[in-house]
Structure formats: structure tokens, C-alpha cells
Amino acid sequence: MIAKFGSSWAEVWLLVLGVVLSSCRSSDTAKTEAEPASGTTPAAASTADVIEIGLLAPFSGPFASLGAQIEGGIKAYLDTQGGTIDGRKVELLVRDTTGVPDVAKRLAQGLIVRDQVDFLAGFALTPVAMAVAPLATEAKKPMVIMNAATSSITTKSPYVVRVSLTLPQVTAPLATWAAKNGIRNVYSLVSDYAPGADAEAQFKKTFEAAGGKVVAADKVPVNNPDFAPFVQRVKDAKPEAVFVFVPAGTQGIAFMKAAHERGLGEAGIRIIATGDLTEDQQIDPMGDAALGVVTTHHYSAAHTSPENDVFKAAFAKVAGTQLRPNFMAVGGYDGMAAIAAVVRKLGPGKIDGDRAIEAFKGLELTSPRGPLRIDAETRDVVQTVYVRKVEKRGEHYYNVEFEEYPAQKDPGK
């Protein structure tokens, strides 16, 4: 099935909305333990002594794991700083978007008008980031994207800054690597929404420029329950490899299950993907089926550096040892580190949105993922992209980095 991008977007999000409304608590009351004054009274609007951050992410519904990772990452960074920045207390106002753009808009409005937060942060999913961006412009509020990865998000408001990744940024090196390593024809299979469209387009552009051929391009619904029919079509087309983008969370496991059951490996079809497929939280449940899958991404829990050791220890302290931090957690950690750097740079006094966004431009961090810079012109992240292969170490599975592409900008702009 080649689904049409424009029409299926609305359908998919209505579907997600249905699932969410039938299965979730009210987003107003979600995560109330983190809402100041239960979110009912006019908040202690941020003062010069308190930095208030409105965290918008999904904590229920199909993408709940994304919110938990981002929140864990933010809290891990704050823990390394004793909970304060420059002697100022940090308050996190956590709001559950449930992954639905209209819910996120309403919650963002409350954070801006009633709570008067200094920063909006989080944004796991592209449609939510796109929906909130105009509100950030209107209110002149810095909006820190800790995951959402569609290239064009940073162009939707001059107040958006991104510390995570873009799909074209991590996809281009994979296409280059595949062409260099003798893969000549590839079947493209992506989730049917904006990041998937970005991934599909960039893979084709880079791979075909390097002499490869994308033999077919198929799309799956965003919250797809069963990959069997899609995987069967891949198998029937007999490509040398299938290129996959699915959002982090349960989709990766659903794809790998179908790939295993349909015997893609036995048919000699390699799986190559952006790192969302084998993200750290979901890789162990995939088990041996994931061995040998080659992906490109900006973060692996197996990355060896002192900064990653500090990050993982802090994350375990705030979120427990059962949850392995993934790239979303690093997005939260680095996003919080970037906010802290901006607060320190601005000095005492109430945060001014315009001065804050200027301070983000050109910012450099040594992240648990490696070096990171915010491009002063685009407000987008520049970073190393690693090529990794899934390997088993002891009882656990990891994305083991074996090649790197330093200082990658978003090729989408």
C-alpha cells in the first residue's frame, strides 16, 4: 500500500485520539504530582528566583515511553546540579499531551498564560511540536525540542531551538554507508507522517546520488499494529536491504517480530534503519532477531565516554535501573543542560524570551552522545552521527558504534 501522506495524516491522528480518549485519564490531571498547586490555582508565576519549565510530552497512550524518557533525562541533569541553576530553583511543570496536537495546544496555552513559564520544553512528536510553534512565536517563549525530528520544525517559529536530531541528518550517513558497502538496491519502508516522509526522501536522494536504487517506497500507519503484510511485500520484492524508519517505542518491536516470523534474514534481505528502530529501551525485548541490524543515530547507551557514564548514573538515580536511557533521555538531559547554560549566560533577573533565544545560538555542549552545537543560523543541532550494529554483550543487546560521521548538519535546510 502506498498511502497518501496528506490525507492519512489526519486519519492517523484521529485514530490515535480515539485510542487515547478511550484509555487515558484526563490530560489536565495527568502527572499532577509534578504540577504546582495541582494546576488549579494561578501558579506562582515565575519570579527572578525560580526558573519555570513547562514540559509537554506524552505520558499516556501509545507514545507514553517517550515522555518518561525525556522527563528522566531532564531530572537526571538537574540531579547533577543539585536541583538548581546558578542558585535558582528549577520548577518542572509536567503536562501530558497524550500525543495529540490539540491537547498539547491547550496545555501550552495554560503554561504560557496562567503559569507564565520561562521555557517550553519536551516535544517528542512532530505533530505536537508543529501545533505549539505558533503559540511560542506569539508569546515569545523559547521552545526547546528534545526529540521531534522533522527537518522543518525549526522553521515554524524563531523561538524554536532543537537539541535532538533531524531525520535527514541521521538518514544521509546511512545511505552513504549502504552504498559504500556494496548494497545496490533497497526497499524503503517508513511511518506515514512527516518524519517518515523526511527519512524516505533523504534516503532516496543520498543513496541514488551514490549509485544505488530505491526499488519501492511503502508507508505504514503511525501506530501500526501488524507489519506482516508490509514485510511480506518487502520479501516478495527481493531487495538486498530494507530501509526502515518507525518512531521509537513499540513500533520497532512490531516490525522486528514480523521480519523474524517472515524470515527476512533467511531470504538474504538485510535490515538497515535509523536508530529509532533499535532504540535502547526496546532492544532487549527484540532479542537475537535484532542481531546484525545496522543503524545510524546520534546516541547509543553503549557509547564510551566519561559524559555518558555520568549521564547513565544520574538517570539510574532518578528513574531506576530497570529503564535503560535512550536517545530521548539524552535529548531531555542535553535540553536541560542547554537551558541551564542560557540561564547562566543571561544572569539574574526574569528570563527574556528574545535574549534567551539569542543565547542558545552557537551554544556548544559535550553531550553524553559526543560534541553538540546549536547552529546559530538555523537553531538546529549539529552533531556526530554514528553507524552501529546490534551485538549481544553478556545478557543484553546494544547498538555498538563502529564508524562515525562528525559535525553533521541537517541536510534538509
Interface positions with ligand PHB (CB under 6 A):
124-126, 147-150, 195, 247-248, 276
Nearer to ligand PHB, 150 or 408 (CB): 150
CB of 312 to ligand PHB, least distance (A): 20
Strand partners, 190: 219, 245
CB of 145 to ligand PHB, least distance (A): 9
Q: In terms of C-beta distances under 8 Å and separation of at least 24 residues, what long-range contacts does 200-207 make, across chains too?
A: 200/245, 201/168, 202/167, 202/168, 202/171, 202/172, 202/175, 202/411, 202/412, 203/171, 203/174, 203/175, 203/243, 205/175, 206/171, 206/172, 206/175, 206/176, 206/179, 206/411, 207/175, 207/178, 207/179, 207/243
Nearer to ligand PHB, 46 or 60 (CB): 60
CB of 164 to ligand PHB, least distance (A): 8
Nearer to ligand PHB, 116 or 399 (CB): 399
Q: What's at 132, amino acid-wise?
A: V
Nearer to ligand PHB, 125 or 254 (CB): 125
Q: What's at 368, amino acid-wise?
A: P
d(CA 234, CA 242): 7
Sign (positive or negative) of CA dihedral 189, 191, 197, 198? negative
Nearer to ligand PHB, 164 or 367 (CB): 164
Nearer to ligand PHB, 15 or 346 (CB): 15
Nearer to ligand PHB, 248 or 271 (CB): 248
CB of 185 to ligand PHB, least distance (A): 26
Task: Mention every residue, 6+ apart, whose C-beta is less than 8 A from residue 81.
Answer: 340
CB of 266 to ligand PHB, least distance (A): 28
Nearer to ligand PHB, 93 or 277 (CB): 277
Joined grid coordinates for residue 359: 543565547
CB of 134 to ligand PHB, least distance (A): 18
Residue 163 · residue 220 · CB < 8 Å: no
d(CA 274, CA 406): 16
The number of C-alpha atoms within 13 Å of 313 and in the hemisphere containing its C-beta is 7
CB of 400 to ligand PHB, least distance (A): 20
> Which residue in the shown chain puts its C-beta closest to ligand PHB?
247
Cα 343 from chain centre: 24
CB of 297 to ligand PHB, least distance (A): 9
Q: What's at 65, amino acid-wise?
A: S
Task: Mention every residue, 6+ apart, whose C-beta is less than 8 A from residue 203.
Answer: 171, 174, 175, 186, 188, 214, 243
